[in-house]
């Protein structure tokens, strides 16, 4: 073994796709090299911009080392937005390839395989999960009247590890290549014998490292909800979003370990010559499918439950009504989170087990549709006889209710093993899960983005562009994915880069046009953000309650102070803030203020992020010394942190009082806004009580 | 400042737990070292001893009991047990079924 | 244990510990949630082991009866069980404020027992590896080396943690973070003994019965 092998492992110049594109300029290689170029140029542009504006210091001090749950939440969402851009472009590229896929297309088969692998991995692990985590981080502590998470530093570490996983996927675009084994990475296809390259290793470490971060997040969310609720906030007074967060946290705690087990076993097979999933010597690759879906199925409910929570808040607020059937929504969420652990086999009905096993899981799968059905009726009943304002979040909610029911119905169809045998691994399945994930999860998240943006930044997003974006998302989704149902029944297998059946062509072309609409929806979101930031002076809502909100996050300023509430609220009822506005007891002036103790900033999360990235990268390329250094640094700095004794700082009561009194002044002088002028610049964030409080 | 009662009583509880655990360890080891019954019976004995010892350690070392607990702790443990049983039993059932059908 | 209400599972410090007892509620509950998450990992390793425990998984290689040594398993079991008890004594010394002396003494006894356990376990592993029973030999051996050393790794982490706690008792004194960390280490240590009950029952006793 020579020095270069020790120092750099199996890394060499051939790993750069840009060089390959220069050597062999086919369309496929040029796209790969171009993407790598975009990552490099984009990264450099960000660095130059930050240096030019002198933002390094504030970036480090106020953001990267902050343990404030609100800042961490925003960073999660920024991360997921960046990854969303890449994921959507990849999806559109795949639709384009299939549109031209009759007897060929322009992408090499391996490049197409890389695209569907990164697209799936990114969309699940680095878009949906961080987006959901971002909202949970920002909103949940505000909704329960807490100052921060139970474990603020661990919260920062979770973000660091998630970002490390995302960084590894971005690096795989520039150095080497990603897995071609799909987001599920089934062995033996991803095993060492079949694929000795770096691709599956990138998958293992990016998902594995981010997965540990997610487990820690789950623990943090659950403990925060159990232990940090404001006085009087009993479990059954919690806002529904917080309830769904609790259910999602339970899933994170118990469903991430199977993923950790599956990825580490696969790693042991690839690195240490184990035989968990190999073809020979007693390995059993079917156990991988089993372990992976023990995680994978609860995972989708972990994503969709918080989205249900967001829709519950949005629909209640914009209907001006108390949520209908609160208790049934709570019990439905709990039922879903438990049932989600009993259905994993429906992802591999065709693996070869007997009919008895299949039907047991088929029945369980059909059961899980029941609580979701309950929820849909609850949401409709909430709107019934409400004073509905058709705002952007409501547009997403409407799209969700209609489209999601279709997605759910196709799920019930797939739950029947006999039908599943027909459409298994066809694009019917692709249509189904996009039909639940886009209208279910993504629309929920975008509704939440629109709904809570003024809370986080103090100004609303532009409504007009929001309407355009929402319409484009809804129409674009339908045009892209409804043809895939037909294609699936016609027999197009999923993940096909090419096909020989001319009858597929019209449908793949329509789907490509839909992907174009989705791309423009994404572009519209960027335009909306740009327009809103430029015109923020006319969109400001400093009082903090632009939508006549019902729950505690609206009872503080926008953006809220670091400590959230000057004095922790006393909760007496469900929809506490709506009730206190109706009773005239909102915005009370506290008798006295106390010092507030908050955790100090720490660099631990950044150390974990950089260390985790280097650790994963070193393992992918077999640079053993670097892996060891990174691991020891991560663990060592964690231990060193426990020797610190100055981990808190105190904000003096006088400062809290000054900030709070100034805000109360703003509240008192602001002109209350009626619901009709909610979308105009007259909205100051102080809601006029022009609607009677209608209880359920 | 209220002092916790009775150090000796608490130490006795640990000793009781230790003795129970010791007995429930010695019994199955002895059964395997010097088989006194059929193999299947011994395997059942091993399983029963293990379950009782786990419960005993929860009771005496981890101080989990049915009274005086905040309910959420017990709920957490019972829920984790439920999930781990679903996952383990499901895995073994599915894999055994697959193995049987491949014979 | 006592007439005092317990605010979290496991050994409670008691109200006379003031701040440490109050902060322990959240910290210990959070740690307990982590342990339950870890339990899932062990549960799946057990399940995988059981699915590999057949001629197909052994792939013509050695099986439990060719590999395991009942005496060594018994010694390891005794060492770990006793260490669990001695950690309980350390927790009592902490709770009843008997000073640093007894606490450190019991912790060092626990440390020695844990090290002895690891020593026996590693010697077992090295004998197996020397006899060609490596994880590369069969799926069954992979599952064994996935499960039992994973527990050993947890024990190693626990011992490192214990050493760090001994250092912190020395440098920081018995301040509230040190106390709550000792509570959590105690939970971790007892939890590992409970996992070991599963290992000696399923892997060693069932395998040799």
Residue among A250, A341, A345 minimizing CB distance to B94: A345
Distances (CA, A) of C158 to A677, C110, C162, C163, C182: 61, 11, 6, 9, 11
CA–CA dist A503, A507 (Å, integer): 8
Residue C47 C-alpha, separation from nearest chain B C-alpha, in angstroms: 5
**Lowest mean pLDDT segment, chosen from A166-170, A644-648, C91-95:** A644-648
Is pLDDT at A368 greater than 70 in this prediction?
yes
Subunits with 3+ Cβ pairs within 8 Å of B are A, C
Q: Confidence class of residue A17 from pLDDT cuts 50, 70 and 90?
A: confident
A253: nearest CB among C33, C146, C177: C33
Burial-class residue C137 by CB neighbours within 10 Å (0-12, 13-18, 19+): buried
Kindly list the distances between the CA atom of residue A462 and the CA atoms of A446, A469, A536, A680, A686, in Å, as whole numbers in the listed order.
14, 11, 9, 10, 18
Question: Looking at residue A144, what is its pLDDT?
Answer: 96
Residue the block writes with tokens 């903090």: A544
Please choose, from the candidates C71, A622, A147, C79, the residue with its C-alpha nearest in 3D space to the C-alpha of residue B32: C71
Task: Give the pLDDT confidence score for residue C15 in this predicted structure.
Answer: 83
Instruction: Tell me which of C182 and C2 has the higher pLDDT.
Output: C182
Hey, are the CB atoms on C142 and A275 less than 8 Å from each other?
yes
Residues of A with CB under 8 A from a CB of B: 226, 250, 254, 258, 284, 286-287, 290-291, 294, 341-342, 344-345, 351-354, 356-357
Domain boundaries, chain C: 70-208
Q: What is the DSSP string of A594-660?
A: --EEEEPP-SHHHHHHHHHHHHHHHHHTT-HHHHHHHHHHHHHHHHHHHT----EEEE-HHHHHHHH
Rounded distance between C-alpha atoms, residue A274 and residue A363, angstroms: 36
Chain A positions in Cβ-Cβ contact with residue C177 (cut-off 8 Å): 642, 645
Q: Which residue of B has its CA nearest to A286?
A: B95
Q: Answer whether residue A695 shows pLDDT above 60.
A: no
Among A466, A467, A472, A410, residue whose Cα is nearest residue A437: A410
Question: Which phi and psi angles does A651 have, rounded to 5°?
Answer: -95, 120
User: Are the Cβ atoms of A257 and C40 closer than 8 angstroms?
Assistant: yes
Q: Given a contact as 3+ CB pairs under 8 Å, which chains touch A?
A: B, C
* Average confidence score pLDDT of chain A: 94
**Both tokens assigned to A83:** 């990854």
Give the mean pLDDT of C15-25. 87
Give tens-digit pLDDT for A21-46: 888 888 888 998 889 999 999 999 99
d(CA B47, CA C205): 10
pLDDT at B70: 61
Alpha-carbon distance A687 to A670, whole Å? Answer: 10
The answer to whether residues A326 and A244 touch, using CB atoms and an 8 Å cutoff, is no
pTM for the predicted model, two decimal places: 0.96
Q: Higher pLDDT residue, A310 or C3?
A: A310
Share of chain B above pLDDT 70, in %: 89
Rounded Cα distance between C68 and C128, Å, is 9
Q: Is C207 on the interface with B (CB under 8 A)?
A: no
CA atoms within 13 A on the CB side of A481: 25
Long-range contacts of A521-526 (CB under 8 A, 24+ apart): A521/A469, A521/A472, A521/A473, A521/A476, A522/A84, A522/A85, A522/A88, A524/A465, A524/A468, A524/A469, A524/A472, A525/A446, A525/A469
Mean pLDDT, range B65-92, rounded to an integer: 85
| Cα gap A660→A592, rounded to integer Å | 11
Instruction: Check if the beta carbon of residue A619 is closer than 8 Å to that of residue A205.
Output: yes
Query: For residues A163 and A120, what is the distance between their CA atoms, to the nearest angstrom?
Result: 17
The pLDDT of residue A196 is above 90: yes
Q: How high is the pLDDT of residue A696?
A: 44
Which residues, at least 6 apart from A469, have a Cβ–Cβ distance to it below 8 Å? A392, A446, A521, A524, A525, A528
Scan residues 53-72 of C and list those with Cβ closer than 8 Å to B. Answer: 54, 56, 70
C16 exposure class (CB count in 10 Å sphere: 0-12, 13-18, 19+): middle
- CA–CA distance, A76 with A448 (Å, rounded to integer): 14
Three-class DSSP labels, C102-169:
HHHHHHHHHHHHHHHHHHHHHHHHHHHHHCCCCCCCCHHHHHHHHHHHHHHHHHHHHHHHHHHHHHHH
Chain C residues in contact with B57 (beta carbon < 8 A): 84, 190, 193-194, 197
Contacts of C187 in chain B (CB under 8 A): 62
pLDDT tier, B71 (very low <50, low <70, confident <90, very high otherwise): low
Query: Are the beta carbons of A341 and A255 closer than 8 angstroms?
Result: yes
DSSP states along A140-175: HHHHTT-SS-SSHHHHHHHHHHHHHHHHHHHHHHHS
Tokens of A263: 């990825």
Interacting residues of B97 by C-beta distance below 8 A, sequence separation 6+ = A353, A354, A356, A357
Among B35, B57, B99, the residue with its CB nearest the CB of C54 is B99
Binding-site residues on chain B for chain A (CB distance < 8 A): 72, 79-80, 83, 86-87, 90-91, 93-95, 97-98, 101-102
How far apart are the CA of C131 and the nearest CA of chain A, in angstroms?
17
Cβ atoms B92, C50 nearer than 8 A: yes
Q: Please state, in angstroms and as integers, the Cα–Cα distance from residue B71 to each residue in A114, A201, A337, C13, following that order.
A: 48, 43, 20, 19
Cβ of residue C14 closer than 8 Å to a chain B Cβ: yes
Tell me, what's the pLDDT at A234? Answer: 94
Instruction: Report the pLDDT value the prediction gives residue A50, as an integer from 0 to 100.
Output: 95
Higher pLDDT, A326 or B70: A326
Q: Report how far Cα A294 is from the mean position of its chain's Cα atoms.
A: 20
Q: Please state, in angstroms and as integers, the Cα–Cα distance from residue C179 to each residue in A9, A225, C93, following that order.
A: 44, 24, 11
Q: Which residues pair with A499 in a beta bridge?
A: A102
pLDDT in tens, A77-100: 999 999 999 999 999 999 999 999
pLDDT confidence tier of residue B5, bands split at 50, 70 and 90: low
Count how many Cα atoms sit within 13 Å of the Cα of residue A502 in the half-sphere of its side chain: 0
Tokens of residue A619, six digits: 């393992």
B73, B91, B92: residue with CB nearest C32? B73
> Does residue A183 register a pLDDT over 60?
yes
Between CA A587 and CA A552 the distance in angstroms is: 11
Grouping H, G, I as helix, E, B as strand and the rest as coil, residue A198 is coil
Average pLDDT value for residue range A356-383:
95
pLDDT in tens, A439-462: 999 999 999 999 999 999 999 999
Separation in Å, CA of A234 to nearest CA in chain B = 13
Complex-level ipTM: 0.95
CB-count exposure of residue A578 (10 Å: 0-12, 13-18, 19+): buried
Question: At C5, is the pLDDT very low, low, confident or very high (cuts 50, 70, 90)?
Answer: low
Instruction: Map tokens 């150390």 to a residue.
Output: A607
Longest dimension (CA), chain B: 69
- Nearest-angstrom CA–CA distance, A38 and A82: 13
pLDDT tens digits along C68-120: 999 999 999 999 999 999 999 999 999 998 989 999 999 999 999 999 999 99
How many pairs of residues across B and C have Cβ atoms under 8 Å apart? 141
Is the pLDDT at C3 greater than 60, yes or no? no
Residue A99's contacts (CB-CB under 8 Å, 6 or more residues apart) are: A505, A508, A509, A511, A512
> If we measure between CA atoms, which residue out of A551, A450, A573 comes closest to residue A239?
A551
Of B2, B32, B88, the CB nearest to C15: B2
Out of C47, C193, C200, the one facing B88 most closely (by C-beta) is C47
Of C25, C56, C146, the CB nearest to A268: C146
CB contact under 8 A, C194 and B63: no
pLDDT of res. B3: 55
Q: Give residue-wise pLDDT tens across range A136-167.
A: 999 999 999 999 999 999 999 999 999 999 99
Among B79, B87, B102, the residue with its CB nearest the CB of A294 is B87
CB A92 within 8 A of CB A518: yes
By DSSP bridging, strand A648-651 and strand A596-599 are: antiparallel
Q: Kindly report which listed range (A404-413, A632-641, B2-11, C11-20) carries the lowest average pLDDT score.
A: B2-11
Q: How far apart are CA A612 and CA A630, in angstroms?
A: 7
The proportion of chain C whose per-residue pLDDT surpasses 70, expressed as a percent, equals 97
Its CATH class, for the domain covering C70-208, is mainly alpha
Question: Does residue C3 belong to the interface with chain B, where contact is any CB pair within 8 Å?
Answer: yes
Cβ–Cβ below 8 Å for C6 and B69: yes
- Which fold is adopted by the domain A55-602+647-677? Cytochrome C Oxidase; Chain A (1.20.210)
The distance of A290 to chain B (nearest Cα, Å) reads 7
Most B CBs within 10 A among C55, C185, C194, hence the mutation to make, goes to C194
- Check residue B7 and give its pLDDT: 87
A126: left (phi over 0), alpha (psi -120 to 50) or beta: alpha
Dump pLDDT digits (tens) for A333-355. Answer: 999 999 999 999 999 999 999 99
Residue C1 confidence (pLDDT)? 39
* CA-to-CA separations, A184 to A26, A203, A485, in angstroms, rounded: 29, 9, 22
């Amino acid at each position: 073994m020579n020095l270069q092998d020790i120092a750099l492992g199996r890394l060499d110049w051939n790993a750069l796709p840009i060089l390959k594109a220069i050597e062999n300029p086919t369309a496929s290689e040029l796209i790969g090299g171009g993407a790598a170029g975009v990552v490099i140029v984009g990264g450099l542009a960000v660095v130059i911009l930050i240096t030019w504006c002198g933002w390094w210091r504030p970036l480090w001090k106020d953001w990267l080392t902050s343990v404030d749950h609100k800042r961490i939440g925003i960073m999660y969402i920024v991360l997921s937005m960046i990854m969303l851009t890449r994921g959507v472009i990849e999806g559109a590229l795949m639709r384009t390839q299939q549109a031209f896929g009759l007897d060929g297309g322009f992408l090499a088969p391996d490049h197409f395989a890389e695209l569907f692998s990164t697209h799936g991995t990114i969309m699940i692990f680095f878009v949906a999960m961080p987006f959901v985590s971002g909202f949970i981080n920002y909103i949940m502590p505000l909704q329960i009247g807490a100052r921060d998470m139970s474990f603020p530093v661990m919260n920062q570490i979770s973000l660091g590890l998630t970002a490390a996983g995302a960084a590894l996927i971005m690096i795989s675009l520039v150095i080497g290549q990603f897995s071609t084994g799909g987001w599920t990475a089934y062995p033996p296809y991803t095993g060492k014998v079949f694929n000795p390259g770096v691709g599956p290793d990138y998958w293992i470490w990016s998902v594995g490292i981010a997965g540990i971060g997610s487990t820690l997040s789950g623990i943090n969310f659950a403990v925060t909800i159990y232990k940090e609720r404001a006085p009087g906030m009993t479990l059954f007074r919690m806002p529904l979003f917080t309830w769904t967060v609790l259910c999602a946290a339970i899933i994170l705690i118990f469903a991430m370990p199977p993923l950790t087990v599956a990825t580490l076993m696969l790693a042991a097979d690839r690195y240490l010559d184990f035989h968990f999933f190999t073809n020979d010597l007693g390995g059993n690759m079917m156990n991988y499918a089993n372990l992976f879906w023990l995680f994978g199925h609860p995972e989708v409910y972990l994503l969709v439950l918080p989205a249900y929570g967001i829709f519950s808040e949005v629909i209640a607020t914009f209907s001006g009504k108390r949520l209908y059937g609160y208790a049934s929504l709570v019990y439905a969420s709990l039922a879903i989170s438990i049932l989600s652990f009993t259905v994993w086999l429906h992802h591999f009905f065709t693996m070869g087990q007997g009919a008895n096993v299949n039907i047991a899981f088929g029945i369980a799968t059909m059961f899980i549709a029941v609580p979701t059905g309950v929820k849909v009726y609850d949401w409709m009943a909430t709107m019934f006889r409400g004073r509905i304002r058709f705002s952007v979040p409501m547009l997403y909610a409407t799209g969700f209710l209609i489209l999601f029911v279709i997605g759910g119905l196709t799920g019930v169809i797939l739950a029947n093993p006999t039908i599943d045998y027909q459409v298994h691994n066809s694009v019917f399945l692709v249509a189904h899960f996009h039909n639940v994930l886009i209208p279910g999860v993504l629309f929920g998240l975008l509704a939440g983005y629109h709904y809570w943006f003024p809370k986080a930044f103090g100004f609303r997003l532009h409504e007009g562009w929001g309407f355009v974006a929402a319409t484009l998302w809804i129409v674009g989704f339908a045009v892209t994915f409804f043809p895939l149902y037909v294609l699936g029944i016609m027999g197009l297998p999923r993940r096909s880069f090419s096909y020989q059946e001319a009858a597929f062509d019209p449908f793949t072309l329509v789907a490509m046009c839909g992907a174009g609409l989705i791309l423009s929806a994404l572009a519209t979101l960027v335009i909306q953000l740009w327009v809103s930031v430029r015109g923020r002076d006319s969109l400001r809502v400093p009082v903090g309650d632009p939508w006549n909100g019902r729950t505690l996050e609206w009872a503080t300023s926008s953006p809220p102070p670091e400590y959230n509430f000057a004095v922790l609220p006393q909760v007496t009822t469900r929809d506490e803030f709506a009730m206190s506005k109706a009773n005239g007891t909102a915005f009370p002036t506290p008798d006295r203020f106390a010092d507030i103790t908050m955790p100090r900033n720490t660099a631990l999360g950044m150390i974990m992020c950089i260390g985790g990235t280097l650790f994963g990268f070193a393992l992918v390329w077999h640079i053993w010394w670097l892996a060891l250094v990174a691991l020891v640094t991560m663990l060592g700095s964690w231990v060193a942190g426990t020797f610190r004794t100055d981990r808190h700082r105190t904000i003096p009561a006088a400062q809290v009082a000054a900030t709070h009194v100034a805000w109360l002044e703003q509240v008192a002088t602001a002109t209350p806004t009626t619901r009709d002028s909610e979308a105009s610049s007259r909205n100051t964030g102080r809601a006029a009580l022009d609607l009677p409080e209608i209880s359920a | 400042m209220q002092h916790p009662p009775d150090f000796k009583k608490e130490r006795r509880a640990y000793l009781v737990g230790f003795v129970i655990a010791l007995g429930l360890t010695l019994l199955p080891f002895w059964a395997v070292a010097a088989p006194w019954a059929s193999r299947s019976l011994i395997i059942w004995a091993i399983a029963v001893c293990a379950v009782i010892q786990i419960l005993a350690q929860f009771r005496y070392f981890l101080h989990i009991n049915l009274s005086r607990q905040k309910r959420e702790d017990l709920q957490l443990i019972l829920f984790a047990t439920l999930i781990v049983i679903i996952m383990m039993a499901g895995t073994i059932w599915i894999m055994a079924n697959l193995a049987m059908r491949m014979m | 244990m006592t007439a005092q209400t317990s605010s979290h599972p496991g050994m409670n410090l008691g109200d006379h510990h003031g701040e440490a007892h109050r902060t322990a509620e959240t910290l210990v509950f959070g740690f307990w949630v982590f342990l339950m998450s870890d339990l899932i990992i062990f549960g799946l390793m057990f399940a995988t082991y059981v699915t590999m425990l057949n001629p197909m998984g052994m792939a013509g290689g050695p099986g439990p009866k060719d590999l395991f040594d009942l005496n060594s398993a018994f010694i390891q079991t005794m060492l770990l069980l006793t260490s669990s008890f001695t950690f309980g004594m350390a927790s009592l010394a902490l709770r009843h404020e008997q000073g640093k002396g007894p606490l450190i003494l019991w912790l060092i006894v626990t440390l020695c027992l844990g090290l002895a356990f690891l020593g026996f376990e590693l010697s077992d592993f090295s004998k197996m590896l020397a006899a060609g029973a490596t994880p590369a030999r069969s799926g069954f051996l992979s599952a064994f080396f996935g499960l039992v050393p994973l527990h050993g790794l947890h024990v190693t982490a626990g011992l490192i943690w214990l050493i760090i706690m001994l250092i912190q008792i020395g440098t920081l004194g018995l301040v509230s973070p040190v106390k709550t960390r000792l509570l959590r280490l105690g939970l971790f240590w007892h939890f590992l003994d409970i996992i070991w009950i599963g290992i000696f029952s399923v892997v060693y006793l069932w395998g040799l019965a």
